[in-house]
Structure 1
Amino acid sequence: MIQAFIHAPRYHVLVEIALVIWILRLLFFTKSYRSERTVLTEKEKEDLIEDWQPEPLAPPLSESDAALLNVNERIVDRHIWEFCSKIGKHVTVNGHECLNLASMNFLAMNEDPLIEEDAVASLRKYGVGSCGPRGFYGTVDVHLFLEEALQKFMGCEEAIIYSYGFSTVASAIPAYSKRGDILYADESVHFAIQKGIQASRSRVRYFKHNDMDDLERLLQEQEREDQRNPKKAKVTRKFILVEGLSMKHGDLCPLPKLVELKNKYRVRVFMDESLSFGTIGKTGKGVTEFYNIDVTEIDLITGSLEYALGSVGGFCVGKSYVVDHQRLSGLGYCFSASNPPMLSQAAITALQILQDKPEKLERLQENSKWMHRQLAQIDGLKVSGEAISPIIYVQLSDATGQTGVDRALLQRIVSECEIQGIALTCPAFLDDEELFVPPPSIRVAVNCDLTKEEIDEAIRIIQNVVRDVLSTRDAFAQ
């Protein structure tokens, strides 16, 4: 050992000596250093605590946070004479009894006694929660029953359910598209899809809303780029992201042309049917049924249980090998507690009601067409969206172009309608985070239980309020 020390390189010996000195310092000098720390008196501690100003948990709101700065709080409460009332066809807002044209309870499943009865029975059998993610100990038989029911209803090979509608599409997109892949997305896709795009870290190229010519232009540009670099093109996956029924505009995607482009340029199509599921098509299967297109033409369909079915959660359907991939790669599926059994059972019952009572869907579509037609006749308003859509967006036909002024005018219309017994809402967006925010509008949600007389009365009230509010527009703007 001594010989090794003698023959060792000098720099090696110096490094070892330095290490030994450092270790000795840590062992013998740390205690004395700690003992020299300043000890505060009780009064000094109290003074420091009194002077301490904690930072706010959230930054102060700016003028752009319109949704959070809205001072017109709208409190939905239950009837005084009822122990527990549901938010259905009628609702009490700030003490006003209103016809509900704000909630997306399209098929009136929120008030169905059979759904409530089955959910309560499931609650008594399984308890409130499932206590874990699906892949560990959170799978209950009703989850499998719901997946089977959705798979059969949509005519696909397999289905998978999530416990939260927002996380469904936001988890599905990054499960397939990764860094280096390309996403072609409609510029009006809703916020959950935008978050899925962001999580995927893929290259995204937005095309104009429902503009298939613009989409084809982007696909052609990429085709030319692939020809210059065929090696890279082989490992680059390409996806088109669209909504069946637009959350921001209330119109349908041009699916026939989309399928044509898909087959021509060999890209995959992911379609979110959150709003169109249960509301569009002869039996409520969505946009594929509306256009009579084979559901297998769409690589992955995502949907929500929170609108037409009145439950909570989301689902994906498609080919088995596509859906199965999410059971190990869908973050919202792998790491979130599974859907509470009673909510899965509620969705099963609601889906069965949809199939057993097709007249619900027929009434919804008739009401949507009638509401759209009547709203379009009101002077001062411009109606957008498909006539068959259960959500209708109404804008000012002569907008000022100033977002704040137009939004305030529309909010005033909503408030006045509420006082006169009609509950409406202005859709809110996160202006600092969402892309391609649409102009201010009023959103009208139709449900199947509305009568023609109720719709006509609502139109009469809205028309009078719009006339009164717009007559004072100049004074209001000043």
Structure 2
Amino acid sequence: VTKSGLLCTCLPQAPAYHLILEGILILWIIRLLFSKTYKLHETYKLTEKEKEDLIEEWQPEPLVPAISREHPSLNYVVVTGPPSHKIVIDGKECINFASFNFLGLLDNKRVKQKALASLMKYGVGTCGPRGFYGTFDVHLELESRLAKFMKTEEAIIYSYGFATIASAIPAYSKRGDIIFVDEAACFSIQKGLQASRSFIKYFKHNDMEDLERLLKEQEVEDQKNPRKARVTRKFIVVEGLYINTADICPLPELHILSIFLFVMNLSFICGIKPSYHSCSMQIDDIDLISANMENAVASIGGFCCGRSFVIDHQRLSGQGYCFSASLPPMLAAAAIEALNIMEEDPDIFTVLREKCKQVYMALQGTPGLKLVGVPFAPALHLQLEKSSGCRNSDLQLLHNIVHYVSHVCSRSPRGKDISSAPHKDGSSLSYTSASQKITTLWGEKKYIFCLLFKKDSLHVN
């Protein structure tokens, strides 16, 4: 059989519409190969008069707009030296009340020496994530020490404190899951909620009745579709110390309602003894604890701790763990030495609590101001007792108070640095007001809190 005969026998067997379709496709491909992807438009030539009119209408503007000399960015103070519990502002030594260095370890000599020794041994960075040649022996030692300090089975460290809880939440909660979260949650928790793409249900701040209402409503929804309820995971996310409100989470009441996976963020009280020790809760009652090492531990990074099977899941699912360079060894060594100091001298926690109570009592009853917080917490909020109704006016009044205190302190040999802390715009405005954050420090034998007010000069009502 010849080739032409074989071709003739095969062609009639193909349907006619099939041959027509193939022919159209071949013609379409040929057209795409030889046709232009865009049409050239004819250029419009301007006349000389039109060009002159455009030139006359053009008004040049400066690359940088004019800024008033009263702009806050142009009126700044010069801080000399490290940001420890004592700072030098414009050549004058002040006690820093705006620091999260609760235990005074930021400028501790032992911590610095360990960090320098680790720097000489390992170098600056690891140049890779933990899963890709970025794991050093100090990382494993730090995880072991943190798990022991927190009395948990296992711990995992992240190279950035903000990314810790923001990576931990989406590692477990996915699209379709449900998260019950306090409306006063910090910004890092909010970003973790967004990354999880889960269904978020906010309950009123520290309002366990409102949380119970949401749980009962969810139970009714689950009964309508039991099959969906079995595959939908549910989480409760809270903070140990709410930095937006300066109060603590009611753990005993929450423990009774906590029938779902329980995630707790201790970023702002890490190293100041876990708050669950103050009630009847067991560590296993909290499924995941997240904390920040950039405050009391005086290092960089964060960690999560809990049961081994919970923590191991993050080693393959935590975005900040898998895709970010691991914690520099010198920072891990500094954190280990900070833990050594805490374990060798546990009295520093008692001293800190006493200082917190002293400052809390000293600020009570200040005319025109309201103190928000708990006596044993190292962070407090000073708020205006009566708001003017305008946020900008309230902030301006707080700035006037700060400037007045700075002026009074400038006459004395010692000063106090008090800076305003206006919260960012957004959903947080619904539960916080313009305030001053005053943080107490360990390491000073005596505090003379220099808040002196004159109603006539400050117009505090």
**Fold-level similarity (TM above 0.5):** yes
Q: What residue in structure 2 maps to residue 431 of structure 1? A: 425
Aligned pair in 2 of structure 1 residues 73, 429: CA closer, same or farther (>3 Å)?
Answer: farther
Equivalent AA in structure 2 for residue 363 of structure 1: V
**Which whole-Å deviations, capped at 9, do the CAs of 1:71-100 have from their partners, x for residues lacking one?**
47544432xxxxxx3211221335554221
Give the distance between the partners of 1:37 and 1:140, measured in 2 at CA.
64
Conserved 8 A contact 2:395-2:434: yes
Between 1:192-201 and 1:225-234, the stretch displaced more is 225-234
Between 1:418-427 and 1:172-181, the stretch displaced more is 418-427
**Which whole-Å deviations, capped at 9, do the CAs of 1:224-266 have from their partners, x for residues lacking one?**
222232222211211111101111111111101111111xxx2
Equivalences for residues 78-477 of structure 1 within 5 A: 78=80, 85-94=81-90, 96-262=92-258, 266-279=259-272, 284=273, 286-419=274-407, 420=409, 421-432=415-426, 434=428, 436-452=430-446, 455-456=447-448, 458=449, 461-464=450-453, 467=455, 469-471=457-459
Q: What residue in structure 1 maps to residue 52 of structure 2? A: none
**Which whole-Å deviations, capped at 9, do the CAs of 1:104-123 have from their partners, x for residues lacking one?**
11001111000000000000
Give the distance between the partners of 1:96 and 1:371, measured in 2 at CA.
23
Q: What residue in structure 2 maps to residue 44 of structure 1? A: none
**Which whole-Å deviations, capped at 9, do the CAs of 1:261-280 have from their partners, x for residues lacking one?**
11xxx21211101112222x
Q: How many residues align?
A: 428
Aligned pair in 2 of structure 1 residues 338, 226: CA closer, same or farther (>3 Å)?
Answer: same
- Unmatched tracts of structure 2, length 5 or more: 1-6, 44-57, 66-70, 410-414
- Unmatched tracts of structure 1, length 5 or more: 39-50, 61-68, 79-84
Aligned pair in 2 of structure 1 residues 301, 74: CA closer, same or farther (>3 Å)?
Answer: farther
Secondary structure of the 1:463 match is coil
Q: Displacement, 1:30?
A: 5.8
What TM-score, normalized by structure 2, do the two folds share?
A: 0.86
- In the alignment, does 2:26 pair up with 1:20? yes
Q: Displacement, 1:288?
A: 1.1
**Which whole-Å deviations, capped at 9, do the CAs of 1:21-75 have from their partners, x for residues lacking one?**
34444555669x999999xxxxxxxxxxxx9x9xx9xxx9xxxxxxxx8547544
Give the distance between the partners of 1:151 and 1:388, measured in 2 at CA.
25
Equivalent AA in structure 2 for residue 16 of structure 1: E
**Which whole-Å deviations, capped at 9, do the CAs of 1:180-233 have from their partners, x for residues lacking one?**
211111110100011111111111111111111111111111122222322222
* Structure number with larger C-alpha Rg: 2
Give the distance between the partners of 1:244 and 1:208, measured in 2 at CA.
16
Equivalent AA in structure 2 for residue 130 of structure 1: T
What TM-score, normalized by structure 1, do the two folds share?
A: 0.83
Conserved 8 A contact 1:107-1:308: yes
Aligned pair in 2 of structure 1 residues 233, 37: CA closer, same or farther (>3 Å)?
Answer: same
Percent identical residues = 46
Q: Displacement, 1:360?
A: 1.9
Secondary structure of the 2:147 match is helix
Aligned pair in 2 of structure 1 residues 14, 423: CA closer, same or farther (>3 Å)?
Answer: same
Aligned pair in 2 of structure 1 residues 170, 70: CA closer, same or farther (>3 Å)?
Answer: farther
